[in-house]
Amino acid sequence: MLLGLESENMTTASISIHAMREATAPQQVTSQYQPLEQVTKPNLKTEEAAHYLNRRPQTLRAWACLENGPLRPRRIAGLLAWSTADVKALAGVA
């Protein structure tokens, strides 16, 4: 009887370990952003501009607040709007 209980606990433990491995396994990340070359809208959101410039959104917000970055955003209805043309120029995309 003791052996049956031990094997049942081992099975439960191995299942939970397997579930943990699946939960923590690296997931394939699909980009939600299209290539910068294909962007046609006039302005980008802070998160989009940060993605294309390989910076964190906080960095761009600091540039806007301190006015010391290579780009200056427009403020549209209180939101920061980064010129797509300026982001392309800074990123070196024609």
pLDDT digits (tens, 9 = 90+) for 12-49: 555 666 666 666 655 555 579 999 999 999 999 999 99
Q: Domain for residue 17, yes or no?
A: no
Which two tokens mark 78?
């209180």
In this prediction, what percent of the chain has a pLDDT beyond 70? 67
Cβ–Cβ under 8 Å, residues 80 and 43: no
Q: What is the CATH number of the domain that holds 54?
A: 1.10.1660.10
Give the total number of structural domains in the chain.
1
Q: Domain for residue 65, yes or no?
A: yes
Q: Domain for residue 24, yes or no?
A: no
Range with the poorest average pLDDT among 7-16, 35-44, 54-63: 7-16
Q: Which domain holds residue 65?
A: 42-91
Q: Domain for residue 2, yes or no?
A: no
Q: Examine the pLDDT at 7 and tell me if it is beyond 60.
A: no
Q: In what order do the strands lie in the sheet with 43-44?
A: 43-44, 79-83, 74-76
Q: Domain for residue 11, yes or no?
A: no
Q: Domain for residue 5, yes or no?
A: no
Q: Domain for residue 19, yes or no?
A: no
Q: Domain for residue 27, yes or no?
A: no
Between 5 and 80, residue with greater pLDDT:
80
- Is this structure's pTM higher than 0.75? no
Predicted local distance difference test score (pLDDT) of residue 31? 75
Predicted local distance difference test score (pLDDT) of residue 37? 96
